[in-house]
Chain A
């Protein structure tokens, strides 16, 4: 079956612009996660959605970052007024439920802020 998909695969933007990154989770998966992978910081948790519960936003680095999940499926991560330090690979993962269930990762979106 189809895995987690992310778009775009690459995004180059100018400092100060807003960007939107999209994640399509595996059908039927109720939990969705966003992580960021960068050279200096490794893999960092950003935000997590589980069903209809309030999202866990504890990993978002600043109020320029936000995410939503519509209809319990597709998620969009938005970065406003991008900065060079936002350059990273943004990974999305989904799982059947939270906790012990395996997280399946998408290929990522490589964001470059110039």
Chain B
């Protein structure tokens, strides 16, 4: 079965600290991988995507993710977080068919 697993449901972190949000995918799901962010009472916004090529992908707001085929992982990182990064983050896998398979989400809470 296709699946995307986010290993942490909640991640609390202090402002200006680094953060890593973990995501693993089943090898059957994915050709393409995405990270989306959802701010309170808003829709999802794309942070970054991996389609092919370089395994280190840079996205908006200073986020980056590394595709690791041997570990079937696509972890999201930011070297220094801000209060405004507080949101829910979703990892998703897709294929040529178009539909996305989402992880359960990770709630990032940045504290002053």
Contact = CB atoms under 8 A, between A and B. Distances in A.
Q: Which of B51, B94, B104 has the most CB of A within 10 A?
A: B94
Contact of B43 (A44, A102, A105): A105
A42 B104 contact: yes
B104 to A, nearest CB: 5
A98 to B, nearest CB: 3
Interface string A81-112: 00000000001010100111011111110000
Interface in A59-101: 59, 91, 93, 95, 98-100
* Interface size bracket, B side: 20 to 34
B47 to A, nearest CB: 11
Given A43-B105, A99-B97, A100-B51, 18 more contacts: A35-B102, A42-B103, A42-B105, A43-B90, A43-B92, A45-B99, A45-B100, A45-B101, A48-B97, A48-B99, A56-B99, A91-B43, A91-B44, A93-B44, A99-B94, A103-B100, A105-B44, A107-B42
Interface of A: 4, 31, 33, 35, 42-45, 48, 50, 56, 59, 91, 93, 95, 98-100, 102-108
